[in-house]
Structure 1
Amino acid sequence: MSTRKQRIHNLDVTVWVGKRGTSAVTEELNDQLAEQEFVKIKFHRAARADGDAEELATELAEQTNATVVQTRGHTAVLER
């Protein structure tokens, strides 16, 4: 059985945030969080004009009633 840390590390990115910002992915993220424990998100350069990955991940977590598990570079993992 893999540990929580290993499961998070092995996740594929399934949500990409681009120039349309976090509001463009909120519904998709909500759907994915309803179906799986963790969701990995990548923030493209255009999205980061509105803030760094940590700020954007926190914003998405608030919008989807989720928790930021990890941010690393331009990616974040959320759970609900």
Structure 2
Amino acid sequence: MDIKATVQIGKGGITDGVKREIKEQLKKRKIIKIKFLQNADRENFKEKIEKLAKDVNAEILEIRGFTAVLKKR
């Protein structure tokens, strides 16, 4: 998918504030790209993205490297 990452997750990880921002962006855009930066905890990346998608009521369209594309359900 050729869209720019609209949410970047750093060393702070996935906080409630990040989840709120993702929900707001999903309302506006329907599809967003999330990128885990190098200083983020990337361990168990896929499981973290799956939990995040469930928490924000989205589905995962694509995971590539440490980047994921989510779509509003």
Shorter-chain TM-score above 0.5? yes
1:36 to 25, 29, 32: 29
Larger radius of gyration: 1
**What residue identity is the alignment partner of 2:19?**
T
Which residue of 2 is the match for residue 62 of structure 1?
Answer: 54
TM-score (norm 2): 0.84
**Which structure shows the higher helix fraction?**
1
TM-score (norm 1): 0.78
**What residue identity is the alignment partner of 1:17?**
I
The alignment covers a number of residue pairs equal to 71
> Partners of 2:34 and 2:59 in 1: how far apart?
13
**How far has the Cα of 1:64 moved from its partner?**
0.4
**What residue identity is the alignment partner of 1:30?**
K
Instruction: Return 38-47 or 10-19, whichever deviates more.
Output: 38-47
Q: 1:12-40 deviations in whole A, cap 9, x for unaligned?
A: 00101111111241011000000112100
**What residue identity is the alignment partner of 1:21?**
G
> Partners of 2:44 and 2:8 in 1: how far apart?
15
SS class of match (2:33)? strand
Segments of structure 1 that go 5 or more residues without pairing to the other structure are 1-8
Q: Could you say which structure has the greater relative contact order, defined with CA pairs below 8 angstroms and 6 or more residues apart?
A: 2
CA RMSD, Structure 1 to Structure 2 (Å): 1.4
SS class of match (1:70)? strand
